[in-house]
């Protein structure tokens, strides 16, 4: 899957929920409040926070002026995610942006009504976050770069660039469930049975 600019990525996420926030803001005196839950240490996600703020500014939302952001990080301790997710719910945020899957799962278990935006998810359908990529259903939406449909599309695009492609090498982490699933999806979703996938797990 082709990489996209981080700012574009964050801005796209912002568009998903800011329409709803703007509508609600007209009916209340308080400014919209966004919850932001990541599992990584706070010190390691400064660039993500700034990219998020920049994306909001480009859409006319400035933190402290017409929007509030509650950042929460589990400091690399997944067991804290449930507590932090519940805290954001108690703060009555209007929407929660979460990543990766462990954080999304924690938020999903904490609320059925507050909109949840997946900043990054590995196979959201297989993880039970959404019913399908086309029709998510429920209160969760967002983006994913790893799903059965996406795996096949990547190989299809590669085939268009290299029409005579007959063999593809795939390197993956043998200890990663996500990588293992992705390799399996690539084999199943291959658009051309003539293209063989040679796998090598490290």
Mean pLDDT of the chain: 76
pLDDT at residue number 6:
47
Question: Which pLDDT band holds residue 159 (cuts at 50, 70, 90)?
Answer: confident
For residue 132, the model assigns a pLDDT of: 85
The confidence score (pLDDT) of residue 40 equals 92
Q: Are strands 116-118 and 140-142 parallel, antiparallel or unpaired?
A: parallel
Per-residue confidence (pLDDT) for residue 171, from 0 to 100: 62
pLDDT for res 107: 98
Q: Are strands 196-201 and 167-172 parallel, antiparallel or unpaired?
A: parallel
Is the Cβ–Cβ distance between 104 and 37 less than 8 Å?
no
pLDDT at position 157: 76
Strands (E), 50-202: 68-73, 95-99, 116-118, 140-142, 167-172, 196-201
In the predicted structure, residue 77 carries a pLDDT above the cut 90: yes
Instruction: Tell me the range of 152-161, 176-185, 193-202 where mean pLDDT is highest.
Output: 152-161
Q: Which are the contacts of 152, defined by CB distance < 8 A and separation ≥ 6?
A: 185, 186, 188, 189, 190, 191
Note if the pTM is more than 0.85.
Answer: no
pLDDT tens profile 28-71: 567 889 999 999 999 998 988 998 898 888 888 899 999 999 99
Are 82 and 61 a contacting pair, CB within 8 Å? no
Q: Which residues of 25-42 are buried (b: 16+ CB within 10 A; e: fewer)?
A: beeeeeebbbbbbbbeee
Q: What is the pLDDT of residues 78-118, one digit of tens each?
A: 999 999 999 999 999 999 999 889 999 999 999 999 999 99
Question: What domains, with CATH codes, occur in the chain?
Answer: 6-142 (3.40.50.2300), 148-201 (no CATH)
Task: Give the pLDDT score at 69.
Answer: 95
């Amino acid at each position: 899957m082709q990489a996209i600019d981080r700012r574009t990525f964050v801005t796209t996420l912002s568009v998903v929920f800011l329409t709803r926030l703007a509508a609600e803001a007209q009916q209340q005196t308080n400014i919209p409040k966004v919850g932001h839950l990541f599992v990584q240490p706070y010190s390691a996600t400064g660039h993500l926070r700034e990219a998020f703020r920049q994306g909001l500014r480009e859409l006319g939302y400035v933190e402290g002026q017409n929007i509030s952001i509650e950042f929460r990080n589990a400091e690399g301790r997944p067991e804290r995610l449930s507590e932090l997710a519940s805290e954001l719910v108690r703060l009555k945020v209007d929407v929660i942006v979460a990543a990766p899957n462990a954080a999304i799962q924690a938020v999903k278990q904490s609320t059925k009504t507050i909109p949840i935006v997946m900043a990054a998810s590995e196979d959201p359908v297989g993880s039970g976050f959404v019913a399908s990529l086309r029709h998510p259903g429920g209160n969760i939406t967002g983006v994913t770069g790893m799903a059965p449909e996406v795996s096949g599309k990547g190989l299809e695009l590669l085939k268009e660039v290299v029409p005579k492609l007959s063999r593809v090498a795939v390197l993956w982490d043998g200890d990663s469930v996500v990588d293992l699933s992705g390799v399996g999806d690539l084999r199943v979703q291959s658009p051309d049975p003539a293209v063989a996938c040679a796998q090598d797990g490290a």
